[in-house]
Structure 1
């Protein structure tokens, strides 16, 4: 039997049929948009939303997000294993987890707590994290199967489509609350409604594309054996280090704009600028990866990110032009991270004996552990200086915020760059 034969429901089908079943690249871009949009309130708005709405302290927020994200991180490899075990019922499992995701999103942002507030928040966030993780793991794992059915087998091509869709979703998520507030609609409740509607549409766009097929006897489904592979381990460590700077800045972004820059009303604009920069840059990075080796192009993006963010510490209150430019350039660097590194890992997994779902479950574990560590260490460290929401802070508090927001991410990015170039990551093109 040809190595390019695809299995569906236990029966071999041709590549042509598989392509028809899987749909085009645009389906992945469309589905990525609302899925990524949900990530904005989960990872950026939630801490400050809880601080302003329910009056939680920074220490309490640190405990909540450290605990929930640790659970979220630990369960990811097992969710990947679950996706593999479910096999041919994956389509049904996706429907269940989408229902869980939209329900928890609505209860978190649109429904007043009807029992203990702390427990209510933790429970809704837990379900939100779990559903988001499972769908993301299946989505990225399915991308490998889709690429294997293509004639060019270009992981970077699919990644460019998928991450462009994700960035469009993120930009939409940044614009929505302000637009809804302008229309006198509750911003977070309206946001939840719109994103839920888009996610339901996206499910039907991707319906029929979640084909797992039969269990391949050649594939290895053991998490611990995956971790023993030197190159795979190198990718996972790199993903952790490279995601850490974004985790830190995402956690502190709203506080930095409000306290250091004293432009809280422009936070939405800065976020949009950042992600627009990322979206615009993806085709540019795609062009470079078609001509140059992936590792080299990613190194350029990471180096540019370090140089750009070093200037952030020099920006004072009200310096809109400088921070606006930094948002554009650092956003473009994020475009490289989002489109190139997952493509490199997907290409590596496709060449190994490891199952796609299990591999991306572990990949998510390393990526999202940075968010848990950031929430558990950064927020309490900032709280230890007496920092609070608002604009009235001492010089010591502002200095602590600047060090955590500017210098720590740069140091982490430098370590990631060294790991990329001196670690066991193979060189490959496209």
Structure 2
């Protein structure tokens, strides 16, 4: 229990980040297109530009953190970008000129990256112990899930007329959460530390980066077409909040289990168990049709329980890898660049998922038959088959002898 305060302090930013992130990514584009008066085309173009710029900022932020360390002024600058742009988007009257809207979104995402990258890298500074790495990463993922749950429950609990008043308290909590992280100065860097390419060609980085990217893609594809699957295949669009709540609540409950399993059986084996169980359980969703939403919610609970293995375990492996590379390079600071790489891969996977899913669905529509939506089999193939195949591919990749030799111990660099 003695380390609980430090775990809580580290995990705290996850609550406001998740609670702010869910409505921004899900509801803000639709609100701006319809209530904001911009229209779908302009909002789509502006968000595309903003998200593209977001991908490009991860690595420069990582380099800056490695060079100057994690400092309070860095946290505060990033928070100022998030707070200023979020408050302006929420409270100033719309519509704005397109360029100003794009600038606000770019500033918001840049501030978000400025908080997220050093926060992800922070466990590298906090402890070299394998158990502590697992604990910090598990606490972070649990707090993110908790914040997501709060954001999902809030619209059904609070009157819609006061929902907009939640933003200032959340931003205040985020300010407190990043302030208490303190500062962690970077060790003296050599010329080698500034060479980002040297990290990309490291065999261990590649061994972890490719499975991480494919697994993120497997998670993002069903998320991008959940509404379509529940509306067209299950005929249960009204139960989307229930399915999401079931999934994320199960994920929150499952985090301690995966933490204990990883301590006993090791990171690599635990991650593989989570991948296999998630793929097997989720594959049953391909058998569902209209009127079977109850079974789908049961599957959501089962796959949600595996969510902790998908998030906290590879994050702990990433932390261990960063610490090992730093030790090999005489203490050179590289952690933030590595976590910037993981963040970049995650964002790229989310963007690619939308493209893959919608290109497939669009190709399955038959204009001659006057179809307006893809057939059920095409939706189920994208929603279920694609992520199951990708997760099994990751499971297979992690079972290769060279990866087992590198990552197969009870822990890595612990």
TM-score by structure 2 length?
Answer: 0.85
Runs of 5+ unmatched residues, structure 1: 1-18
Matches for 1:47-66 after TM superposition, within 5 Å: 48-49=30-31, 53=35, 56-57=39-40, 65-66=47-48
Correspondence list, 1:304-315, <5 A:
304-315=277-288
Cα contact 1:29–1:165 (8 A) shared by 2: yes
Matches within 5 A, 1:261-410: 261-353=234-326, 355-379=334-358, 381-382=360-361, 396-410=374-388
Counterpart in 2 of 1:140?
120
Partner of 1:91: 72
User: For residues 196-243 of structure 1, what are the alpha-carbon distances to aligned partners after superposition, in whole Å with 9 as ceiling and x for unaligned?
Assistant: 23313323443x2x3124424497232100001001111111111110
Q: 1:285 to 1:223 in 2, by over 3 A?
A: same
1:63 CA drift (Å): 5.3
User: What is the aligned residue count?
Assistant: 397
What is the CA–CA distance in structure 2 between the aligned matches of 1:324 and 1:291, rounded to whole Å?
30
Task: Give the corresponding residue for 1:198.
Answer: 173
Return closer, same or farther for 1:41/1:348 CA change in 2, 3 Å cut-off. same
Query: Which string of whole-angstrom CA distances, capped at 9 and with x for unpartnered residues, describes residues 64-110 of structure 1?
Result: 5554333222321111012223336x210110111111222333344
**Structure 1, residues 322-353: CA drift from partner, whole Å, max 9, x if none?**
12111111111111111100001111111113
Q: Could you list the runs of 5+ residues in structure 2 that have no partner in the other structure?
A: 327-332
Among residues 136, 140, 146, which one is paired with 1:168 in the alignment?
Answer: 146
CA contact (8 A) 1:242 1:413 kept: yes
Equivalent position of 2:212 in the other structure = 239
Could you tell me how far 1:259 is from its partner in structure 2? 3.7
The answer (yes or no) to whether the contact 1:178–1:268 under 8 Å persists in 2 is: no
- Equivalent pair of 1:176/1:191 in contact (CA under 8 Å): no
TM-score, normalisation: structure 1: 0.82
Q: Which fold has the larger relative contact order, with Cα–Cα distance below 8 Å and residues 6 or more apart in sequence?
A: 1
SS at match of 1:154: helix
The RMSD of aligned alpha carbons is 3.1
Residue in 2 that maps onto 1:127: 107
Counterpart contact for 1:177–1:190, Cα < 8 Å: no
Q: Does 1:25 align with 2:19?
A: no
- Specify whether residues 234 and 263 from structure 1 end up closer, same or farther in structure 2 by C-alpha distance, changes over 3 A only: same
Q: Which is worse superposed, 255-264 or 350-359?
A: 255-264
1:104–1:124 contact (8 Å) kept in structure 2: yes
Distance of 2:211 and 2:116 partners within structure 1: 19
1:74 alignment counterpart: 56
How far residue 25 of structure 1 moved from its aligned partner, in angstroms, is: 1.2
Structure 1 residues 401 and 115 mapped into 2: Cα distance closer, same or farther (>3 Å)?
same
Q: Which range moves more in the overlay, 275-284 or 355-364? A: 355-364
1:249 aligns with 2:222: yes
Cα offset, 1:119, TM superposition: 4.2
Q: Aligned to 1:317, what secondary structure does the other structure show?
A: coil
Supply the distance in 2 between the matched residues of 1:299 and 1:60 (Cα, whole angstroms): 42
